[in-house]
Amino acid sequence: MLLANATLDDGSIVDVMVDGPRIASVEPAGSGRYPPGHDVHDLAGRLLLPAPAEAHTHLDKALTVDRVPNPAGDLAGAIEAWSAHRPTITTADYVARATTAAELLSANGCTAIRTHVDLGPDVGTTGLEAMLEVKASLAGRLELQVVGLVNGVTGPGGDRQLALLRAALDLGLDVVGGVPHVEAEPAAAIDHVLDLAGTYGRPLDLHADENLDPSSIDLEVLADRVIATGFEPPVVASHCVALGMMDERRQAHLAERSAEAGISVVTLPLTNLYLQARHHPVAPPRGLTAVDALDRAGVTVAAGADNIRDPFCPVGRADPLETAALLVTAAHRTIDQAYRSVSAAARATLGLEPVEIGPGRPAELMALVAADIAEAVAAAPPGRLVIHRGRIVSGT
Ligand SMILES: [Zn+2]
């Protein structure tokens, strides 16, 4: 396939030859040295970018805001409302909503998505089985990774929760998850899930320190344990809201420990701006992690949408460019940093091969009507052409 007359972010106009799942060549437009018989798609000057990826979402919860209200508007209210509702969800409902939300993300450019899915005594592995069904049905269009979200692995019923996580891993769960900060014993919970992930050789992705308490310990304990155990698979700490509330010395220390441990951090501006700081009538904190300190230490900082129109966040366009724009305004990232957080850094967080527009790179691409990345992030234009594994999967 030849993508002709594509504009790159530096303003050059090129022809991009795609061979199978990879980019074969990038030549000045019209140089014309291409073998006959390939499909030609004239991009007519549209901007061509490395495809975004969604580093953290919850497809099992998506698109339920109309039936699961959260009047308090905070995290505790969302958890309470969701916990009451989730035992009533059928497999068909999980599959339908998750497919719709994943297709929205795909149409907006994502060729890889990591979703968390609830596991619990009231729902068992129903949500996971539904997500695995969605993963199989969308396999040609995007890569879906499924994280098992459990809490209560310490305290009463902890053994049952760990058994459920094991059952989920046996069913094909991709990544081990958890929420240490709501556990009876956060440090012990981190030990349990790290141990289990190590036994199965799977990555770990935790909801860490999703609160405004500067004495939170999830990230510190996680980094300590990863370093002490030599844990090999990729580790992600999602949220890390509390890090943004700590003093600069402590931020720098934890950022350096995270870098040493090889932990990536995912910040979730849309949902955390909504859920956090409800009880701060004066100068409310933004609820975002310390992106600059993490950057300085060399930690990979990705960003995601988290919740899409559910009790945890009633809005959301399932658009990585929406997330990128929020990073610019709420986290003071530059436009280029913001786009990197939802593309290259997001893919790195998911353990996927890097994308850039060059020979030999994976053909994971998005084309849209914009002059450059700055206009793409600012205007978030619709009508995107999305290419996954060298095939057009959305748009024309
Ligand atoms: Zn989440």
What pLDDT shows up at residue 396?
81
Distance from Cα 290 to the centre of ligand 1, integer Å:
18
Once rounded to an integer, what is the mean pLDDT over residues 304-333?
97
Q: Which domains does the chain have, with CATH numbers?
A: 2-51+355-394 (2.30.40.10), 54-349 (3.20.20.140)
What pLDDT shows up at residue 82?
97
Whether 35 has a pLDDT exceeding 80, the answer reads: no
For residue 73, count CB atoms less than 10 angstroms from its CB and return exposed for 0-12, middle for 13-18, buried for 19 or more. middle
CA distances from 269 to 72, 91, 96, 304 (A): 19, 30, 26, 8
pTM of this structure: 0.97
Report the run of H or E that residue 114 belongs to, with start and end. strand 112-118
Distance from Cα 189 to the centre of ligand 1, integer Å:
17
Distance from Cα 113 to the centre of ligand 1, integer Å:
13
Distance from Cα 115 to the centre of ligand 1, integer Å:
8
What pLDDT shows up at residue 278?
93
Distance from Cα 330 to the centre of ligand 1, integer Å:
18
Is 115:60 a contact under the CB 8 Å cutoff? yes
Distance from Cα 283 to the centre of ligand 1, integer Å:
25
Report the chain's mean pLDDT, rounded to a whole number.
96
Whether 209 has a pLDDT exceeding 80, the answer reads: yes
Distance from Cα 306 to the centre of ligand 1, integer Å:
5
CA distances from 112 to 18, 57, 126 (A): 19, 11, 23
What pLDDT shows up at residue 129?
98
What pLDDT shows up at residue 34?
72
Provide the token pair at 232: 């090999």
Q: How far apart are CA 126 and CA 237, in angstroms?
A: 25
Once rounded to an integer, what is the mean pLDDT over residues 43-61?
98
- Judging by DSSP bridges, how do beta strands 235-239 and 204-208 pair with one another? parallel
For tokens 């990073």, the residue is 327
- Per-residue pLDDT tens over the stretch 348-384: 999 999 999 999 999 999 999 999 999 999 999 999 9
Whether 33 has a pLDDT exceeding 80, the answer reads: no
What pLDDT shows up at residue 61?
98
- Per-residue pLDDT tens over the stretch 128-168: 999 999 999 999 999 999 999 999 999 999 999 999 999 99
Looking at the DSSP assignment, which residues form a beta bridge with residue 4?
A: 42
- Judging by DSSP bridges, how do beta strands 2-7 and 40-42 pair with one another? parallel
Whether 268 has a pLDDT exceeding 90, the answer reads: yes
- Per-residue pLDDT tens over the stretch 66-119: 999 999 999 999 999 999 999 999 999 999 999 999 999 999 999 999 999 999
